[in-house]
Structure 1
Amino acid sequence: MSIAPIGIAAASLLALSAPAFAQSAATDLKAFPAAEAGMVRHVITLPAKQNEEDLRVEILPGKMLEVDCNRVMIAAKAETKTVDGWGYDYLTIGKVSPPATTLMACPDNAKTERFVTANIGAESLRRYNSKLPLVIYAPEDLVVKYRIWRADSELSEATSE
């Protein structure tokens, strides 16, 4: 008896079980901690796409605010953590600053309601992965939205100077 067929059979078994494991992790959130008091767990489950390595997910936490013509900004502290024993990453959005605005004199005092995003820096851009959910813990007063970014297939070359 040769070892090669056993190795091939083992590799085939792993290949068959890996997608099933990844799919169960995407639908089973038991590995992730429950939300702490004052926090909400937001989950983004992404559909499978071709060339997922060319995609990124931008996390946009924010609030609906009544604003005038001034630019409104919110800052928040975000941190990536890992579930012990599982290796799954999740994002925790912590301290959120009160809204700050520019001080332009608006021609009219009209105010409109608008979604104002909180700047969480580099933590906002995540890898696209349809096999695992994106889990975000955020304060109760924040809404978490997201958008998908796609890489352009056309490459440009830098000039040498």
Structure 2
Amino acid sequence: MRKQILNKLSFTLALVGLSLSIMAQSTIIKQDLSIYPKPEKGYKQLVIEVPHSKNDINKRIEFTVGKWMEVDGCNSHGLQGTLEKKDLQGWGYNYYIFKTKGDVFSTQMACPGTPNRHMFVSGQREFVNYNGQLPIVIYVPEGYDVQFRIYKAEEDIYQASEVRQKK
């Protein structure tokens, strides 16, 4: 019995170690970010780096800035703010600055008896071209984070149908 508990504990610790190792690897920055401006006071610099592939042209990145919050259990919530696209002078690259006062909007449905939930409340989504050779640099206020998705086009290409008009 004691040996089983020790084996389970060893296995759990190994999984935790592996998870921490994977998380640490996801924060490795492969691009030189020294050409980008330093974050202003109260802001932090976040970077999205995606692996280069021969199919970069068939992919897009969707990212959004937000904050983890405790909200009611039935309404949709969103973060008010603006995402400004800036040009990195002399380099031809872009970066983004998200500004917000922290105001949150939501639908106004009554949800009696519905427990609260912990969710990522985000602002407007931004779609950018996938480029595995350049980072996406975003400046956000302290306490906010960025989440992103990679969209990939299907290999199939379809043809639109012509609508014949009656004469």
Taking the aligned partners of 1:116 and 1:65, their CA distance within structure 2 comes to 7
Q: Deviations over 1:89-143 (max 9, x none)?
A: 11111235511111111141410101122115xxx11111111111011111211
Count, aligned residues: 133
Is the contact made by 1:81 and 1:91 (CA closer than 8 Å) also made in structure 2?
yes
Report what 1:135 is aligned to: 137
Partner of 2:82: 77
Paired amino acid for 2:144:
L
1:153 corresponds to:
155
Q: Which amino acid aligns with 2:151?
A: W
**4+ runs of 1 displaced by more than 6 Å?**
none
Q: Which runs of 5+ in 1 are unaligned?
A: 1-25
Partner residue in 1 for 2:91: 86
Out of 63, 66, 69, the position equivalent to 2:70 is 66
Question: Could you tell me which of 98, 102, 109 is aligned with 1:104?
Answer: 109
Q: What are the ranges of 5 or more consecutive residues in structure 2 without an aligned counterpart? A: 1-29
State the identity %: 35
Q: Which residue does 2:59 correspond to in 1?
A: 55
Provide the secondary structure at the position in 1 that maps to 2:57.
Answer: helix
Q: TM-score, structure 2 length as denominator?
A: 0.73
| Paired residue secondary structure (1:92) | strand
Q: State the TM-score, normalizing by the size of structure 1.
A: 0.76
TM superposition shift of 1:145: 1.2
